[in-house]
Structures are given as C-alpha cells and as structure tokens.
Amino acid sequence: MLRGFFIGIICVVLVSFVVLNVSAYKHANAMLFFSDHGVTTLKPERLSLTQKIDVLFSGINIPRPSANLSSSALHSNCKNIKIANGGKSSLGAWYCPSNHQKNLVILFHGYVMDKSSLIEEAKFFLQSDYSVFWLILEVHGSHLSHILQLVIMKRMM
C-alpha cells in the first residue's frame, strides 16, 4: 500500500515536470519567433483569469512588427547603409550626419518594436546637433521592442 502511494507521487512529479517543460518550451518558442497573424498578447495585469490560463498553456503571441519608413522621414541628409555580415542577410542602418560631427549617438530599437519607435528620439538628437547612427536589427522584427538602448559616444578625432 505504501509502495503504491510512492509510485503515485513519483508519477505526479514526473507528469508535472513534463507539463512544465512543454509549457516553458512553448513560451520560449513564442518569444523567439514572430507570428504572422493576430494581436500582441496584453500585459499580464490587463488579462482576465481565463486569458492568463490560456497564455500559460499556449504562450504569448507577438506579431511581426512592421514600419514602412525611409530614412528621409527623419531628415533629408540621412543615408541608408547595408552592413554585410558574411551570410545571406545583411544589417540595415541609417546614418544622419549633423553639422557638428564630433558627437555621435547610436540607437538600437528594442525587442518587439520597429524603427518607427525611435523617430522622436532620433529627431531630438539631430536637433541637438548629434549625428545619429541607427542600427535596424532584423532579429527584432521588421528590422523590433520595449527596451530602448542608447549608447552615446564621443568620437575621437
């Protein structure tokens, strides 16, 4: 009788382990690859209990971001740059020189965002007489995020 109890506990632990790992895999997969349809999953505090349970078992939905902007939307003297990475694809970037080219700001848009998310920041730096180099990360969506990373560098002359 005691042996059956321990076998039952081992089975529950084993099934729980498998279910949690499958759930973790689905979440990791959903965060690594964009979906081609649907709407972005809401923040957890905005989900109902049934929606939270659904997300728990099915993972989040992140549709591929897209923005049809050209570098001229930022400034007329901005240039599109392609950076070869040795593979089939290349990185895209925009470079907008300022009149006073001592200062350079490098912009990276964050995860689940696209290049349109940083237009206002880029305009601010251009108006403040900084050159702007804006790397468009393909792994981040249309080329993607919530995290805005700014690196301000003083160029050596």
- pLDDT tens per residue, range 16-25: 999 889 888 8
Task: Output the six-digit token pair for 25.
Answer: 């895999």
Tell me the pTM.
0.56
Q: Which of 37-41, 76-80, 108-112 has the least mean pLDDT? A: 108-112
39-68 per-position pLDDT tens digit: 888 888 999 999 988 888 778 888 776 666
- pLDDT surpassing 90 at residue 122: no
Listed in sequence order, the DSSP H helices in the chain are 2-32, 49-58, 119-127
